[in-house]
Amino acid sequence: MKGARFSDLIILCFEKFEIVLRIFILLAGVILLCCQLMLTYGPVRKHLSYVEQIEGQGIEGQRVKVATDFPEITEKSVAAAPETSTAETRLLVITAREPSPRDQAFVTVNGQEVPFVEGEVVLEVREGDLLEINAPADKLRSFRIFSRHNDIEYPVSGTTVETAGQRVLLGTVRFRR
């Protein structure tokens, strides 16, 4: 008799545990579905996703300095990503601190290569353009970024980026509003 009662007690405990487990699985599924639906809505996504919060910011590990003196900007070469849209463009200047006559460094705007001319490149950029600096690996290179009218929020005007022969992702362009 005792054996039958003990097994009945075990079965009763597992039935109660099964009910709690089913409720937990159901609630977890509902919460997961609600979170996935909230991630499709832009303003809420910024609070739920860390990646959305840091989008467009520089990468740590790269030495970035903000300059206090701004050089005179002359328009030597103007390059823009080939687009047919009439989106608003603004000027962004990237200068090499120590340009060499046969400088092989270049800037890419949305994958299109734009070479430095006399140590400088002037770009017509659109909001959302992806900027990268590519430099040869022969020595440490330093590049300064300036916007003509301080009307570009990112990349920050006056920033100095140093690289030793790798591709440096500057991020996507954001305009000041």
* Closest-CA residue to 129 (of 102, 109, 143, 157): 109
Give tens-digit pLDDT for 119-132. Answer: 888 888 888 888 88
68 versus 124: which is more confidently predicted? 124
Q: Average pLDDT of 72-85?
A: 50
Tokens of 162: 């140093």
Provide the residue ranges of all domains of the chain, joining segments of one domain with +: 2-53, 57-175
Tell me what pLDDT residue 81 has: 46
- Chain centroid to Cα 65, Å, comes to 18
Q: Residue 88, class by beta-carbon neighbours within 10 Å (0-12 exposed, 13-18 middle, 19+ buried)?
A: exposed
Tokens of 154: 């990112």
Q: Distance between CA atoms of 165 and 177, rounded to whole angstroms?
A: 35
